[in-house]
Each structure stands twice: as structure tokens, then as C-alpha cells.
Amino acid sequence: MAWCRRRLAEAAGTSPGGIAAAVDSLHMADDKLKSAYELAMERFQKKDAEAGVVSQPLSDEQKAAVAEVRNQYQAKIAELEILHRGEMASMMDPAARELAEAQYRQERGRLERERDSKIEQARAPR
């Protein structure tokens, strides 16, 4: 750290003690390594700030509504999966199995889209 202060002082044309506080504050701020997730989130926040996007935290009411929607659709998807597995266990025809699998994927996708739409509605500012 001392050699860094001397180098910075030489480059800036000041004494090593004059910039010591600035170097220490920079060092302390960056002391902990950040994960790729944290770095990506910082970039997104910068882009949002530059674009003028203001994010507001969800109210307790909105959080409860989102949780309720998620719970309802988690139960619907679980029920669909249980029924699908039971149906698949009794099917032996490969063509019928493939058709049932396609129908299951389509129905599950519909439920997920419906869930996401309702979550967005619950998150919308009122």
C-alpha cells in the first residue's frame, strides 16, 4: 500500500501523506470483492438512472398480492403435474404419450404466462 501511495503522490506531484486519506477511502470502499451478479446489478442501476427510470419498492399490500398469486399458481401447476404424471403412467402408446406431453407443456406455459401477467398487475403502481 505504501508503494502505491508514493506512486500516486509522484504522479500527482503531491506528498504521500496528502493523498493518503483519499487512497485509504478508496481502498476501504473496494475492500470486498463483488460477485458477477452484484456487478451486473450495478450496471443495470446505472443504465436505469441514465434513462430516468425510477424504481419504487413494493408496498406491503403489493407484496402480499404477489405472494398470493404465486401460491395460487404454484398449486395449479402442481395439480397439473400430478394429473399429467398419473396420465403418463397409464399410457403405453408413444404417439399418445407425445400428444399428452405436448398438451401438458402448452397448459403449463399458459398457467405460467397467466401467473406472470397477474404478478405484473399486482406490482403496478396504484
Same domain, 104 and 68: yes
In this structure, are residues 58 and 126 in contact, taking their beta carbons and an 8 Å threshold?
no
Does residue 25 carry a pLDDT above 50?
Answer: no
In this structure, are residues 69 and 122 in contact, taking their beta carbons and an 8 Å threshold?
yes
In a domain, 86, yes or no: yes
Q: Provide CB contacts within 8 A for 81, sequence distance 6+.
A: 104, 108
List, for residues 33-85, the tens digit of each pLDDT value.
999 999 999 999 899 888 887 778 889 999 999 999 999 999 999 999 999 99
Q: Which residue has the cell 506531484?
A: 13
Q: What is the DSSP string of 78-101?
A: HHHHHHHHHHHHH---HHHHHHHH
Does residue 21 carry a pLDDT above 90?
Answer: no
* Structural domain boundaries, residue 10: 1-32
The reported pLDDT for the residue numbered 18 is 54
Confidence of residue 121 (pLDDT cuts 50, 70, 90): very high
The reported pLDDT for the residue numbered 28 is 47
Confidence of residue 15 (pLDDT cuts 50, 70, 90): low
Count the domains in the chain.
2
In this structure, are residues 115 and 69 in contact, taking their beta carbons and an 8 Å threshold?
yes
The reported pLDDT for the residue numbered 51 is 87
- pLDDT above 90 coverage of the chain, percent: 62
In a domain, 110, yes or no: yes
Exposure class string for 89-102: b at 16+ Cβ within 10 A, else e? eeeeeeeeeeeeee
